[in-house]
Amino acid sequence: MSSTAFDTNGAFSWTELLTSDVAGARRFYGSLLGWTFEDMDSGSTPYTIIRAGEHNVGGLMAIPPAAKGMAPAWGAYVTVDDVDKLTARVAGLGGKVLAQPRDIPGVGRFAVIQDPQGAAISLITYEAK
């Protein structure tokens, strides 16, 4: 069985753009990088998968109401074996938990943390497929 970024602890496995203009982002990155896009039914929040050739490489979505006022930004996800266990260690290492662990149905469980210098990153444990 070959290993991928989705099942390798510590690997960067997904990137995501939160933006104030989803349609504009699609036009810009589609023209610039040749990306194609596929809308996904994710329940209440519209989500778009970013494809480079035949590979799903990331996603984009509108900035959620809970983050109103934030500037559009790219974020990265790192695969971890147990998001709850690692999130519990963040404060003791000088960081902050910005979003407590929660489920993404059909995908896995994630949290958003901030390191002691202020950089944010998302941790994710993918569902077994």
DSSP at 5: T
**Domains of the chain (ranges plus CATH)?**
12-126 (3.10.180.10)
Element (H, E) at 38: strand 36-40
pLDDT of residue 2: 60
Across the range 63-72, mean pLDDT stands at 90
**Residue 83 CB neighbours (<10 A):** 24
Cβ atoms within 10 Å, residue 9 = 11
Q: Check: CB of residue 8 under 8 Å from CB of residue 80.
A: no
Of 67 and 90, the structure prediction assigns the larger pLDDT to 90
Q: What would the pLDDT profile of 74-111 be if each residue is shown by its tens digit?
A: 999 999 999 999 999 999 999 999 999 999 988 999 99
C-alpha–C-alpha distance, residues 91 and 123, integer Å: 15
The predicted model scores a pTM of: 0.87
